Amino acid sequence: MFGNVPGYEGTVAGGGGGFLPPPMPAEPVAPPQPGPVPDDWNIPSLAEDVAQEAFKSFASAQCCYSKAPATDGVITNMEPFNTYRYRIETFTESRSTEWAHKPYEGEPADFYMQTAPRPWEIQATPPNLFKDHTEEIRVPFTSSIKIKSIRTCVNLKNFEAVDVVCLQKECWVCNGSGTRLEERCNHCNGTGRERCDKCDGQASLECETCKGKRQLLTFIQIKVEWVNHVDDHVVQQNSGLNVDDLRSVSGKQLYKDSQYLLYPLMGFPNPAISEASQRLIQEHQAKYPQSSRVLQQRQTVELIPITKVNYKWKGDTHVYYVYGNENQVSADNYPATCCCVIL
């Protein structure tokens, strides 16, 4: 059904050709350059009234929490545990090929009119950098027309006789007798047969592949996938807050660098960030160019505010955390909860 196109050997229908390795750059790539280093690495401490308002909002949003601890509790101590989050993003483009088809609707068949462009010669531009996106492109000069045979109705006893009326099915009410309880069967009007509900007596069904056109346009299709690969490293902060809670919040952006290939961040006040930058950049630059083309890399450093708040309520000491620019709250041992039953 499918032809042989130079440069697309191994391409099969329905995918399976695998990702195509990108060609080597035509010109030497310039080495990465170090990015600028910011002067201000600090963020202001969280105010007590802000912490209390965040706690009240948290309690109000929980269906089974009493607001009393958040409203009547007295803050006794606030301790900052601000931490850094390093993030690297590698934006790549990968391509795979497959033979595809569609119902023929009069399009020109250009197979072998010219040499088909190679997979990485076809122009494709991502809508946005660092955003996942997929696009399917028909390869020029690979289209041809194929004839599709008619699909015979499954109720026909003679599958070659596509020009006769489909044999009707036996009436399920009277079992083909035409009568029921010594009276004419109302379901089949006494015929003992009922009209085929699959083909409506037409002896054939519309082909799901060619949609009744009896012709297919076959062609090679390129699937272009732009993927943003992201890795984070959060410096241990020893506050007691679960690191996974920080995934949903943002912080103050201290550093941002975007290049074709990144240079490790050196001289950062916290050496763990510099170590993470060097390690993750090496991992990304070794891993992703094997099966895809790197279009851009970006690295950022955020300072995420974390405040551990101690408060007293009814004579006991309790703890909650306020974190992120969004002032999210975590209070695993909230002292006034109840069991709710939803009817």
**What tens digit of pLDDT does each residue of 218-241 get?**
899 999 999 999 999 999 888 889
> Residue 302 forms beta bridges with which residues?
85, 253
pLDDT surpassing 50 at residue 161: no
pLDDT surpassing 80 at residue 105: yes
Tell me which of 143 and 12 has the higher pLDDT: 143
The model's confidence at residue 165, banded by pLDDT at 50, 70 and 90, is very low
Structure tokens at 277: 């930058």
In sequence order, which residues have a C-beta less than 8 Å from that of residue 331 and are 6 or more positions away? Answer: 55, 58, 318, 319, 320, 321
The model's confidence at residue 16, banded by pLDDT at 50, 70 and 90, is low
Lowest-confidence segment of 131-135, 165-169, 289-293, 305-309 by average pLDDT: 165-169
The model's confidence at residue 158, banded by pLDDT at 50, 70 and 90, is very low
How far apart, in whole angstroms, are the C-alpha atoms of residue 155 and residue 17?
38
Structure tokens at 106: 């009069």
Query: What digits encode the pLDDT tens for the residues 59-90?
Result: 999 888 889 999 999 999 999 999 999 999 99
Query: What digits encode the pLDDT tens for the residues 280-323?
Result: 999 999 999 888 999 999 999 999 999 999 999 999 999 999 99
Tell me which of 196 and 332 has the higher pLDDT: 332
pLDDT at position 58 is: 95
- Cα atoms in the Cβ-side hemisphere of radius 13 Å centred on 48: 8
pLDDT surpassing 80 at residue 56: yes
Residue tagged 């109720």 (tokens): 155
Lowest-confidence segment of 108-112, 135-139, 232-236 by average pLDDT: 108-112
pLDDT at position 2 is: 60
Backbone angles phi, psi at 183, to 5 degrees: -130, 160
Lowest-confidence segment of 113-122, 142-151, 174-183, 292-301 by average pLDDT: 142-151
> pTM of this prediction?
0.74
The model's confidence at residue 159, banded by pLDDT at 50, 70 and 90, is very low
pLDDT at position 109 is: 85
pLDDT at position 190 is: 85
Which sign does the torsion angle of CA 329, 334, 339, 340 carry? negative
